[in-house]
Amino acid sequence: MWFRRNTVKNILNKEIQQYINANLTTDLHSLLLKKSPFPEISMQEIVQQIKGKKVAQKKFSYLLKDGIIFPPNLNLEQASSQATAEFKAKSLSGKSFIDLTSGFGIDPYFLSQNFEEVTLVEQNAELLAIVKHNWKTLNKKANFINENLENFLKQNDEKFDLIYLDPARRDEHKNKKFLLEDLSPNLLKIQDQLLKISDQIIIKLSPLIDISYLISTLKNIVEIQIIAVRNEVKELLVFIYSNKLKDQIAITCINLESEEKQFSFNFDEVKSAVSEFSEALQYLYIPNNAVLKSGGFNCISEKFNLKKLHPNSHFYTSEELLENFPGRVLKVEIIDSKQIKKGEKYNIISKNHPLTPDAIKKKYKIMDGGNAYLIFTQTQKSKIILRTV
């Protein structure tokens, strides 16, 4: 493994830190071809710290402090962003918190802020050593346990106010896995054990997992949150309560770092909700990707009293402007293809239409860019082209 016993001490050397900071914009491939100027640390270890700082600039800026150590790339990729971690922490509090799969420690750092006792379980000893060092640097206390999750559960007799876990979604060959029984840990095997030691469990899962499958497989689900950042769905959070009182399961769609409001509905409404249809009116509504992931296509039509263009388009329309829609709202006009001029710039959207954006650009000799949208789709009656006005 890259993380040797004295790596932390060596990396924190003042001269090495100065070298790392001086090379944050240097081409990393060229750096790797050079010999390390420091006999006590390899160039690979130096480059890894540079990569970590670059990731932190975009993903978790609170770690851009002196004395922070960054782990290998895979751990950086799998770590939650600061934005999602801070959001998750807002409404959680209690006496005791445990993260059973702490990883690089981003989620537990924020989730545990309103808890008195914090426990982190991680089977990778080297990664846990990095987290332990970083938390000490940040004056954050916890009980660090280097143990396999299943072994910890066998030995543990303590109860916690909140359990959090983020199962590994890759096998030993780094292939992605999505079924609950294929994750590590196998959630289907341990869910009863988890419910015995906490009344509240939060599980982070891939945004690609099917919501209906989740609900049919896991016990005591109270809510599923679909979390996007700037319209890119990052994760699903499953909230499980041991003392669940209602059969209804809330689906909440969140688009962070936007001004869009959350959209929520009960999962049972998906089956009963019905949409009305219309030709395109003055305003077009495009739900954000968290809403689209939820499958609540008819729910959003009902709740906002909007008409759909087509069962398979997931575009909505109204004559009057509607505020607080969770997505983009565009004022549009229906145009003829002859009104598209060669060389014009548009943001092109094609949904439920035979032409892809690339094919549209080629056919009409137009380019990406500008402030206007060109939308190719269809209503129940015909294919249409819409342009923002």
pLDDT surpasses 90 at 286: yes
Following DSSP, what letter does each residue of 306-369 receive, concatenated?
-EES-TTT--EEESS--SS-SEEEEEEEEE-GGGPPTT-EEEEEESSSSS-HHHHHHHHT-EEE
pLDDT at 389: 79
pLDDT surpasses 60 at 52: yes
For the chain, the structural domain boundaries read 7-59+66-70, 77-258, 273-388
| Residue 339 CB burial class (10 angstroms; 0-12, 13-18, ≥19) | exposed
Hey, what amino acid is at 295?
Answer: G
What's the pTM value of the predicted model, to 2 decimals? Answer: 0.92
**Higher pLDDT, residue 95 or 171:** 95
pLDDT surpasses 80 at 175: no
Beta-bridge mates of residue 329: 285
Give residue-wise pLDDT tens across range 287-324: 999 999 999 999 999 999 999 999 998 999 999 999 89
Give one word for 98, left, alpha or beta, with left for phi > 0 and alpha for psi -120 to 50: beta
- Name which of 68, 32, 31 is nearest 49 in CA terms: 68
Beta-bridge mates of residue 388: 332
Mean pLDDT score, 217-244:
95
| CATH fold of 77-258 | Rossmann fold (3.40.50)
pLDDT at 26: 93
Q: How many residues in the chain?
A: 389
- Name which of 110, 102, 112 is nearest 149 in CA terms: 102
Greatest extent of the chain over all pairs of C-alpha atoms, in Å: 73
Give residue-wise pLDDT tens across range 199-211: 999 999 999 999 9
Following DSSP, what letter does each residue of 72-87 receive, concatenated?
-HHHHHHSPPHHHHHH
pLDDT surpasses 60 at 3: no
b/e burial code for range 177-202 (CB count within 10 A of at least 16 → b): eeebebbbbebeebbeebbebbbbbb
Q: Listing from the earlier edge strand, what are the strands of the sheet with 276-277?
A: 276-277, 307-308, 316-318, 283-287, 327-335, 383-388, 367-378, 345-350
Residue corresponding to tokens 């660090």: 144
Asked if residue 342 lies in contact with residue 367, where contact means CB atoms within 8 angstroms, the answer is no
Mean pLDDT score, 66-89:
93
pLDDT tier, 1 (very low <50, low <70, confident <90, very high otherwise): very low
pLDDT surpasses 80 at 336: yes
Asked if residue 177 lies in contact with residue 183, where contact means CB atoms within 8 angstroms, the answer is yes
